[in-house]
Amino acid sequence: MSDNGVIIVGAGPVGLITALGLAQRGVEVTLLDGADDILDEPRGMTYHWAVLAGLERLGVLDDAMAIGWLNHDWSAQIHATGERISMDIGLLKDDVRHPYSLILGQDALGGVVKEHLERLPNATIRWGHRVTGLDQDGSGVTVHVETADGAHDLRCGWLVGADGGRSVVRRELGLGFEGMTWDERFVATNCRGGYDDHFVSGYLVDAEHGAVIHKITQDGLWRHTFAEPLDLPEEGIEERIAAHFRAVLPEEDFDHKMLLWRHYRMHQRSAQTYRVGRALLAGDAAHVTNPTRGFGLVGGMFDAFALAEALGAVVLDHADDVLLDRYAEERKRVFWDYTTPISSQAKRMVFEPTQERLDAFREAAADPAKTRQYLLSGVALATPSLLGTMDLWETVGASPSLDALRGA
């Protein structure tokens, strides 16, 4: 790789999308990941209307839609009473080009992006390359990796850390991770059973048995995620999963089967900066949020869109690298001003419901104007073109007044 190329650490969706955006612009890109292929785990799966225009510009949306499915409502169900509350995403038909959400496991989305990336001669994916350290100087970055063949060094002009919440790149840059950790852990499971007959695809609201329950595929695969106190030991999680299912699933004719599960802590955290010299951060390496509103991966995708454009201009067009400072400042501002408060509000509504919170959700669902405000709040996560080639609404796929966001 030349000293003008870019190495991206982490082949999750954010790393893959950043790589594709750069490679399509003509940048030489190498993607490194310690795994042998894309991981199949119960992680992100919902891509909001606001982010679909970015996937369309990359040329991957049609392929993703062909294997995913489109959801046209945003719903909640009250566990204690069975009450169902639903918002019609179709009310955004005059606001965004894609008034629906795309449902697709992030491993499947990653596979689509990988296929497009592998068609480009200036892009390389190196699996089994675990990054152990890095050094940078005025002209580039040296990346230290461990492989099955031993230790190696790779050289690049710029480095992007998209290697998740436990980012090695962030650690090597000496950056802390400011913020807070929630008192609960999430336990995410992939399941089959009679969910269609008993649950909405959305929120199950309850102070004790709250969950986020979403259909993943049209053939009956569901994601069932609940919260438990963080001070409970990790030993015994499987037994507590079974107890949760006993408490919330019907006893008869459900035919429940759990296929996969994983647990993880929930945070609202951000690095102090997303740029140190020639190294940048994106996605969970830069910031992490609780996933109740689906804003973790969506926010990371907006990072990728903005960073690919800005870094591509610096590498290929010799643009002033102040663009990268603007990327770092803007994406951090979005995280603290929008991602964190909106995601936190959603988590409290599902897992710490009060009458006031439930009434606010009901009112938003009952009033089309309030529904639009609620659903358009995700648009605030977008960053317009740092080069000035697109405004906010071109970024998300439409051109209504920015007043639609006020009060969302």
Per-residue pLDDT of the chain (408 residues; tens, 9 = 90+): 566 799 999 999 999 999 999 999 999 999 999 999 988 776 788 899 999 999 999 999 999 999 999 999 999 999 999 999 999 999 999 888 999 999 998 899 999 999 999 999 999 999 999 999 999 999 999 999 999 999 999 999 999 999 999 999 999 999 999 999 999 999 999 999 999 999 999 999 999 999 999 999 989 999 999 999 999 999 999 999 999 999 999 988 899 999 999 999 999 999 999 999 999 999 999 999 999 999 999 999 999 999 999 999 999 999 999 999 999 999 999 999 999 999 999 999 999 999 999 999 999 999 999 999 999 998 999 999 999 888 877 888 875 554 445 344
The crossing angle, in degrees rounded to 10, of helices 340-351 and 295-317 is 160
For residue 74, CA distances in Å to 86, 294, 317, 374 come to 6, 12, 42, 10
pLDDT for 1:
57
Please state at what angle helix 322-334 crosses helix 295-317, rounded to 10 degrees.
170
* DSSP, residue by residue, 86-135: EEEGGGGTTT-S--SEEE--HHHHHHHHHHHHHT-TTEEEEET-EEEEEE
Q: Is the dihedral of CA 251, 255, 261, 266 positive or negative?
A: negative
Contact 161, 6 (CB under 8 A): no
Which amino acid is it at 366? A
* Annotation: CATH topology of 6-73+88-177+268-352+368-405: FAD/NAD(P)-binding domain (3.50.50)
Token pair of 250, please?
């019907």
- H or E element at residue 18: helix 13-25
Domain residue limits, the chain: 6-73+88-177+268-352+368-405, 182-267
pLDDT of residue 400: 52
- Backbone angles phi and psi of 342, in degrees to 5: -70, -45
Rounded to 5°, the CA angle 259-300-28 comes to 105
Task: Give the single-character DSSP code of 236.
Answer: T
Instruction: Note the pLDDT of residue 408.
Output: 40
Angstrom distance (rounded) from CA 211 to CA 223: 10
- Report, at the CATH architecture level, how domain 182-267 is classified: 2-Layer Sandwich (3.30)
Phi, psi of 2 (to 5 degrees): -80, 165
Looking up tokens 């030489």, which residue turns up? 28
Dump strand ranges (E) for 253-306.
257-271, 275-276, 279-281, 287-288
Give the CB-side neighbour count of residue 361, counting CA atoms within 13 A. 22
Do 353 and 205 touch, CB atoms closer than 8 A?
Answer: yes
Cα–Cα distance between 360 and 377 in angstroms, integer? 15
User: Parallel, antiparallel, or unpaired for β 29-33 and 287-288?
Assistant: unpaired
CA–CA separation, 177 and 364 (whole Å): 34
